[in-house]
Structure 1
Amino acid sequence: MADVLSRPPGVVGREREWRLLADFVRDPAPALRLGVVSGRRRHGKSYLLRALTEAVGGLYVTVVREEGRLAALQRFSDAIAAHAGLRPGVLRLTNWYQVLNNALDVVARRAVTPLLVIDELPHLLQHSPEVPGVLQQIYDERQRGSTGNGGRVILCGSAMGVMHQLLSGAAPLRGRAVVDLRLAPFDYRASRTFWEIEDPCTALRVHAVLGGAPGYRSIASRPAPGGDGFSRWITGTVLDPGRTVHSRIETGSLLREDPRIVQHTLYYDILTAIAQGASTPTKIGSALARQRNAVSHPLDVLESTGYVRREQDVLRARHPVITLTDPVIRFNQLITLPQADTIEQGFAEQAWRASAPTFSSKILGPHFEELARIWALRYAHAVLPDGLPGPVGTTEVPDPAARTKHEVDVLALALGERPQAPRARIALLGEAKATLARRGTGDLERLEHIRELLGAQGYGTSGTVLVLFSLHGFYPDVVRLAARRRDLLLVDLPALYGVGPVLGLGG
């Protein structure tokens, strides 16, 4: 069994996810087991589950969006018949109880491990909302052993809100699933490997535009070159209205994934307001000339789908900051939409040149800061004296003497500390800048001052390491300081991507 479920060579990364799913399907328990896999469009859910199904000889069925109830029943019946070695049309199952029971019985007889995967379940629920209830009935029956074999069922879908509701509240399947896997995009290092990009600067730019969704590589249809070639790549992909990866087309497709998003103009306007810096419901409502209450529900929907995030200050209880989480949507709202007419007329190169300052300040800069926080969370433990840090985020530090506040790009608490806890120990304090200038002693002095302020406010800073993140390196004087000091790290772009050394800590 272990050999059958070894990760296929075509599945890049996803070691943890594959191990979880492999353990699920080879669970020796004879009773039926349910799993739920959700994730945004282009994240590779279908690819991963197809590979798993093929590895065990299971049955994989994808729901068609435009298909009606009767057509879906017949197509599922034909898929079951084909899996059993019968001709299409032999089975004519008339309800979902028959379909699902027959599917489980067939895979139990023919598969190494009895696995049934239903992909894009939310489309099925639009015309057959009874399916979760039917699954509950079958699940309960097969727990008692009153009918058929056990088997394994995986339900998959891209409409995040719909998938999350399957296991929440009073939903029929609540408490019955043993796996609830939310497939995330590749992180920035895995994305660079997947795209086979040598140059970290190019990898950063591609990730700032398309993020870590692996599905974009195949439809981009061309590699992302470094240097000046990046501009040609941009204008030939996300700024080309004739391509499916064009950001306007892709943003529309992403929003249509969730059936709750019906007022597309309102959602577009909210996303644009957030992309331009509106960070609270009040500010977003003001940007749209609407009351705060008018945007509350759409914001909740966008958050449940994973398109926006509410970021809490890691040190203090403040109103959370609302940000966009999808790079494609961010690029569309800030770059493509404002230049839509120019792009549609065939002048994508001119539109891109005109948008370069916006890309640098509102996309590349914030994205670099986000990657610095991810580095602190996932990779800093390899160089920090105390190893793995705790929660990572941002904060504002008041400076009463100067009558100002200092924004902190990266702050990591010590392992075991809780966010917003008074007198918490701080493991890491960092500043991330994606400007053309190198970072020097002035940046270090700012961090030292902030550390002193935090210490005076009761936080534990005796073991706090200062980290400077730079897109274009460091001045020699700060490099010499890092070689002597035990509380300073320098992380340039190669170090961020793990292809260059992290300098500092006296070594």
Structure 2
Amino acid sequence: MIGNRFVGREQELGLFDAQWRAAGPRFLVLYGRRRVGKTSLISTWLERSGARALYWVASPTSAAAQLRSFSQVVYEFANPNVPFGSDFTYSTWEQAWREAANLTRAGRLFLVIDEFTYLLEVTPGIAGQLQNFWDQVLSKTDLLLCLSGSHLGMMKHEFLSYQAPLYGRATMQIHLQPLPFGLTRDYFPSYSAVDRVAIYAIFGGIPAYWERIDPNQSVSQNIKTQLLTPNNLMQAEPALLLHDFVSDLHNYAAILTAIANGARTPKEIADLTGLPNVQAPKYLGVLAEAGFVERRVSVTAPTASRTGRHHITDPYLRFYFRFLATRQHQFALKIQDQALAEISRHLIDFIGTYTWEELCREWMLRAGARGVLPFMPDEVGSAWNRTVQVDVVGNNTMHKTLILGESKWTLEAASRKVMTELVEEKADRVVPEQGSWRVFFVGFSRSGWTDAAQAYAAELQDRPPAGRNWTCAGMRLLDLTQVDDDLTAWSE
């Protein structure tokens, strides 16, 4: 939700429609990181659908206070003109849910319990109680129950784990993801594609962050006003996000800072943070469960490969721990220009290393699915070994097809050499040794390609090269304008 506009999420709204129209009881689980727009999605669907609904959001308070709050919402819905005291509460959650179930006698009801993880934290066994009551009572009513939560690890543990009390009860589960880059043109029509990539590199696809951006200001001005002032909400955001999962923020912040500055393996992270080698994997596991860090392996290597690398998946956390975390003393003294100059100096490399590569991978995955590329990859990522790295790679092991891509975020047009090195030097080293492969090459360049590079792509069509165990299926070169146009069209 940006201002009064709600853009995107049409697929998710359609899933809500389907669950509401379906006959009989339905159980919907909605989860995703904070600020991703879960509450806005629910409220927008309620406004559009006009469904008869009871909405309650849990808060970080005591178990008794939560039960009292929910009880009063249910009572007021059932008895809109009957006063009740501020201390009114049902005696148990079962009694409160039974009263909510009785509301379905008057027609289908959409019951929303938002931030359900706050209940899980202070009411042991609440998931098991709800499972029993769903099986015995709620599953026999005309109810659409929606549980929403931001604690990804807890939601997965209580709903997706085979041992979870509520496992198998949900008729629909939605993991709400950040908005795709392709929607930035609609949100920020006055910004150029370069500016929108920069915005996405800093704030990711989090709607609540986009709301803070003033499109009448430049990207640099927004960085200065939104991020480089003391005591602003964005400065406190990383601690708030981490606090949902951990209590000792210092070690986790140190690990994220290390990864943001190039450490990729547990040993590199331990060396940079000073943590014992045996402790780093434990911290990394918690961050991975929270969805903030992931371990990636080369797409041409086995999943169990020991050459995995750790990356921060959340763009704002990545930006914060790269540029802001160590500058708090400057912000406290309102010394902003020095920090802004440092960010401006390194932002091109930062975007090229992270965001542009990620957008190129997204383009490859979407293009393959739409038949724009000759192959449809099963997996898109990077490929590397001891001698070479290719940053944008699509792999289909069943069909023995590979898409190898180079991505450049430079102010000048990319040269012929970029693609000749990929074809004539890197391909032989990265194509798997087993099998006979067909390889298609793609070049992504912010500023386009030189005439010589374009000529090389044409040459490959007439005289396809071949390697040790692969043959060339062609080449395509793209610039930022084309990638932006395609991702915009494919995200609508």
Q: TM-score, normalising length from structure 1?
A: 0.85
Cα 1:86/1:136, change in 2 over 3 Å? farther
Instruction: Give CA-to-partner distance per residue, 1:409-456, whole Å, 9 cap, x none.
Output: 111123xx36xxxxx623311011213332111011011122344568
Matched, 1:102 2:99: yes
Cα 1:232/1:501, change in 2 over 3 Å? closer
Which residue matches 2:310?
Answer: 322
Note if contact 1:454-1:461 (Cα within 8 Å) is conserved in structure 2. no
Cα 1:456/1:291, change in 2 over 3 Å? closer
Q: Percent identity?
A: 27
- CA distance in 1 between counterparts of 2:442 and 2:139 reads 58
Q: 1:70 aligns with which of 64, 68, 72?
A: 64
Higher relative contact order (Cα pairs below 8 Å, separated by 6+ residues) = 2
- CA distance in 2 between counterparts of 1:217 and 1:152 reads 31
Q: Report SS of the residue matched to 1:430.
A: strand
1:166 shift after superposition:
0.9
Cα 1:500/1:177, change in 2 over 3 Å? closer
- CA distance in 2 between counterparts of 1:454 and 1:130 reads 51
- CA distance in 2 between counterparts of 1:73 and 1:500 reads 45
* 1:69-468 matches, cutoff 5 A: 69-84=63-78, 85-89=80-84, 92-106=89-103, 108-110=104-106, 113-142=108-137, 145=140, 149-167=141-159, 168-220=161-213, 222-223=214-215, 225=217, 229-244=218-233, 246=234, 248-258=235-245, 261-317=246-302, 318-319=305-306, 320-382=308-370, 384-386=372-374, 388-396=376-384, 405-414=387-396, 417=397, 425-449=400-424, 450-454=426-430, 457-462=433-438, 464-468=439-443
Q: Report SS of the residue matched to 1:42.
A: coil
Instruction: Give CA-to-partner distance per residue, 1:196-251, whole Å, 9 cap, x none.
Output: 3541100100000000011112234x1265xxx2211210112222432x3x3111
- CA distance in 1 between counterparts of 2:460 and 2:371 reads 14
1:333 shift after superposition:
0.9
Cα 1:459/1:89, change in 2 over 3 Å? farther
Structure 1: which 5+ runs fail to align?
1-8, 399-404, 419-423, 503-507
1:94 shift after superposition:
1.6
Note if contact 2:375-2:401 (Cα within 8 Å) is conserved in structure 1. no
Cα 1:104/1:12, change in 2 over 3 Å? farther
- CA distance in 2 between counterparts of 1:488 and 1:301 reads 41
Matched, 1:471 2:463: no
Q: Report SS of the residue matched to 2:90.
A: coil
Letter in 1 for 2:280: V
Note if contact 2:198-2:351 (Cα within 8 Å) is conserved in structure 1. no
Note if contact 2:226-2:232 (Cα within 8 Å) is conserved in structure 1. yes
Q: Report SS of the residue matched to 2:163.
A: coil
Q: Report SS of the residue matched to 2:295.
A: strand
* 1:16-95 matches, cutoff 5 A: 16-29=11-24, 32-54=25-47, 55=49, 56-65=51-60, 67-84=61-78, 85-89=80-84, 92-95=89-92
Q: Report SS of the residue matched to 1:50.
A: helix
- CA distance in 2 between counterparts of 1:109 and 1:10 reads 35
Q: TM-score, normalising length from structure 2?
A: 0.88
- CA distance in 1 between counterparts of 2:405 and 2:350 reads 20
- CA distance in 1 between counterparts of 2:81 and 2:62 reads 24
Q: Report SS of the residue matched to 1:379.
A: helix
Which residue matches 2:475?
Answer: 488
Letter in 2 for 1:498: D
- CA distance in 2 between counterparts of 1:43 and 1:155 reads 16
- CA distance in 1 between counterparts of 2:325 and 2:431 reads 46
1:475 shift after superposition:
0.9
1:156 shift after superposition:
0.6
- CA distance in 2 between counterparts of 1:256 and 1:381 reads 38
Note if contact 1:397-1:408 (Cα within 8 Å) is conserved in structure 2. no
Letter in 1 for 2:38: K
- CA distance in 1 between counterparts of 2:241 and 2:117 reads 14
Structure 2: which 5+ runs fail to align?
462-473
Note if contact 2:414-2:449 (Cα within 8 Å) is conserved in structure 1. yes
Cα 1:103/1:78, change in 2 over 3 Å? same
Which residue matches 1:5?
Answer: none
Letter in 2 for 1:240: T
Instruction: Give CA-to-partner distance per residue, 1:281-337, whole Å, 9 cap, x none.
Output: 222122222223212222111111110111121111333211001111111111112
Cα 1:57/1:501, change in 2 over 3 Å? closer
Instruction: Give CA-to-partner distance per residue, 1:95-117, whole Å, 9 cap, x none.
Output: 111112212322x1455x32111
Note if contact 1:426-1:461 (Cα within 8 Å) is conserved in structure 2. yes
